[in-house]
């Protein structure tokens, strides 16, 4: 099962620029792009930082493919 996320959807919905989010999380824009596109899974620490930044739980952002109950 692959890990998926809805970071890009949330970020765009809130009008947050990818570069601004990356800077706030102290990662590169390329790292954020790779995470959003499912090419890189963040460390637990970074996943928690993303969760905190978006003020959502990790489970609301990340899910296993085929396991989304929405």
Residue the block writes with tokens 């919905």? 13
Tens of each residue's pLDDT in the chain, 70 residues: 799 999 999 999 999 999 999 999 999 999 999 999 999 999 999 999 999 999 999 999 999 987 655 4
Long-range contacts of 8-17 (CB under 8 A, 24+ apart): 8/36, 10/54, 10/56, 10/61, 11/36, 11/54, 14/54
| pTM exceeding the 0.85 threshold for the entire prediction | yes
- Dump the DSSP string for 36-59: HTTS-PPPHHHHHHHHHHHTS-HH
- Domains in the chain with CATH codes: 3-64 (1.10.260.40)
């Amino acid at each position: 099962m692959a890990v998926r996320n809805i970071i890009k959807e949330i970020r765009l919905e809130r009008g947050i620029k990818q570069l601004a989010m990356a800077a706030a999380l102290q990662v590169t824009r390329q790292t954020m792009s790779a995470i959003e596109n499912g090419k890189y899974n963040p460390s637990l620490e970074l996943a928690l930082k993303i969760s905190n930044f978006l003020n959502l739980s990790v489970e609301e952002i990340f899910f296993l493919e085929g396991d989304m109950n929405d």
